[in-house]
């Protein structure tokens, strides 16, 4: 499942974060790369242990906790602290797959990367190129979203970022370990949840059919979830 989640961050949050990011000291993006990614990756990042990255990352995590669409789609168990990258001057990230396990530097915190997320801090008209292209069985899907919007997609997907030929593409990226490991099961639960919400808006949450369907949702979640 690949999902566009609009408006994760508001205008004031974006303005404050972007001012800090534009003034930050960036380092070679390969500081967080595995062997395969290091061969493909050409960009800049904030250091993983940067206080600025932690500060803006906490803003993102708090915003995600207030975003029902993200919670319904990801069913998050653990979220890797958000990282930040910048592409400019032809920088790119060739086709790769994300590491299955991400370990937070200097700690025992680890995340199984079920889902990958990219949250955009640059609007599309600020740069040329820089599309996130994600491959699945139906082809390649290119994404270039407004600042404050986020795309969520399976971390097992092959994906790449096209070269940025004008301006700068600034974004946050991170990984989610879901309570439901299987992408197909997670998609079924998401579709069921959205259908329940749509019907309930018309018939009311106390309608017997809604109560029954909600029970089906939670019993499936109980069957498939790790906690």
**pLDDT tens for the chain, residues 1 to 227:** 899 999 999 999 999 999 999 999 999 977 655 555 556 789 999 999 999 999 999 999 999 999 999 999 999 999 999 999 999 999 999 999 999 999 998 899 999 999 999 999 999 999 999 999 999 988 999 999 999 999 999 999 999 999 999 999 999 999 999 999 999 999 999 999 999 999 999 999 999 999 999 999 999 999 999 97
DSSP string, 27-54: EEGGGG--HHHHHHEE-EE--TT-HHHH
141 is in an annotated binding site: no
Q: What is the DSSP letter of 179?
A: S
The domain 183-224 is classified under which CATH number: 3.40.50, 2.40.160, 1.20.950, 4.10.860? 4.10.860
**Bridge pairing between strands 101-103 and 132-136:** unpaired
166 is in an annotated binding site: no
What's residue 26's pLDDT? 96
List, by residue range, all CATH 2.60.120.620 domains of the chain.
3-178
159 is in an annotated binding site: yes
> Angle between the 208-224 and 183-203 helix axes, to the nearest 10 degrees?
160
CB-based burial of residue 222 (10 Å sphere; 0-12 exposed, 13-18 middle, 19+ buried)? Answer: exposed
Is residue 116 within 8 Å of 153, Cβ to Cβ?
Answer: yes
What's residue 92's pLDDT? 97
List, by residue range, all CATH 4.10.860 domains of the chain.
183-224
Only one residue has tokens 């004031």, namely: 12
98 is in an annotated binding site: yes
Distance CA 80, CA 94 (A): 22
What's residue 41's pLDDT? 85
Distance CA 43, CA 225 (A): 36
CA atoms within 13 A of residue 116's CA, in its CB half-sphere: 21
Local structure of 100: helix, strand or coil:
coil
* CA proximity to 150, closest of 175, 121, 119, 172: 119
CATH code that applies to domain 3-178: 2.60.120.620
Both structure tokens of 66: 């207030």
């Amino acid at each position: 499942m690949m999902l566009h989640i609009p408006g994760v961050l508001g205008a004031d949050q974006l303005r404050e974060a972007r001012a800090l990011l534009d003034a930050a000291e960036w380092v070679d993006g390969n500081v967080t790369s595995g062997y395969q990614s290091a061969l493909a990756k050409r960009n800049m990042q904030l250091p993983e242990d940067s206080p600025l990255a932690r500060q803006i990352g906490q803003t993102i995590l708090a915003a995600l906790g207030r975003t029902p669409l993200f919670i319904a789609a990801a069913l998050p168990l653990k979220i890797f602290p958000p990282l930040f990258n910048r592409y400019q001057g032809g920088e790119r990230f060739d086709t790769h797959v994300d590491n299955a396990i991400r370990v937070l530097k200097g700690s025992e915190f680890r995340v199984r990367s079920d889902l990958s997320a990219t949250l955009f801090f640059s609007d599309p008209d600020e740069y040329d190129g820089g599309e996130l292209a994600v491959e699945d069985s139906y082809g390649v899907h290119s994404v270039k979203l407004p600042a404050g919007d986020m795309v969520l997609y399976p971390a097992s997907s092959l994906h790449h970022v096209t070269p940025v030929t004008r301006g700068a593409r600034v974004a946050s990226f991170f990984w989610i370990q879901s309570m439901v490991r299987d992408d197909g099961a997670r998609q079924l639960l998401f579709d069921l949840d959205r259908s329940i919400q749509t019907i309930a808006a018309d018939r009311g949450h106390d309608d017997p059919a809604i109560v029954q369907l909600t029970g089906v949702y939670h019993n499936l979640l109980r069957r498939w979830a790790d906690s």
